[in-house]
Amino acid sequence: MITPTHAMVLAAGLGLRMRPLTETTAKPLLVLHGRSLLDRALDRLRDAGIGQAVVNAHWHADQVAEAVERREAPRVTLQHEASLLETGGGVTRALPLLGRAPFVVANGDSVWLDGPTPALARMAAAFDPARMDGLLLLVRCAQVDGEIGRGDFLLDPLGRLRRPKELELAPYVFAGVQVLAPALFDDAPEGAFSLNRLYDRAIEAGRLFALVHDGVWFHLSTPLDLERAEAAMRAGLVKAPF
């Protein structure tokens, strides 16, 4: 069990599949049911007791900067990226601001509603630094309303992750929320790279684990996804399935 105090929200992407909405707006600043996606992510961090957060920005970075300046909690440091560093490069650059203990990383467009126990509390309780370099939050593909391909991961009985083999369907998709240990970034590449490179290394070492979300998660890739999520929120169709 850990008690995270630091987190990062990834908000630098171009949001290409969300066009035309993202032509003039950073994707994390799109609004769902009266609140921006970025504020929803930061609200979850605040509610989990996380006091320090880093938010990276590239596309419409000025808008992201204005949005985080309006917040009181958590205390946000803006990391402006003149060129895209991707997920792995962005977190690696922010490491000096994220402390020496395991920290939370959330996608700026990841919207989740908690089940019986808040997801971040479940993850903090399950994270074992002696066995884990990362703990990802997953969602059952069958629960996702939207196009997600063949899924992302499979789980063994102990919660260890593996990738699907060729032609194999994976029953889980990554929810864009994770707890990562600084050790995951040992000898990380310089510049832009995906966190998937570090995931694969941790999988080989048997140190990448996951929890399955027991609440609601919205897949927000296209404008239609956002419309569906808005309709579900307005209709109150957001109860946890378990």
pLDDT digits (tens, 9 = 90+) for 173-217: 999 999 999 999 999 999 999 999 999 999 999 999 999 999 999
Q: What are phi and psi of 92, to 5 degrees?
A: -60, -45
The pLDDT score that the predictor gives to residue 167 is 84
Q: How far apart are CA 42 and CA 109, in angstroms?
A: 11
Query: Which of 99, 159, 140 has its CA nearest to residue 242?
Result: 140
What class is the 6-235 domain? Answer: alpha beta
pLDDT score recorded for residue 107:
96
As a whole number of Å, the CA-based R_g of the chain is 17
- Residue closest to 178 by CA, chosen among 213, 140, 149, 137: 137
Q: Which residues contact 173 (CB under 8 A, 6 or more apart)?
A: 138, 139, 141, 144, 148, 151, 152, 153, 219
Give the residue ranges of the chain where pLDDT is below 70. 146-148, 237-242
pLDDT of residue 38: 97
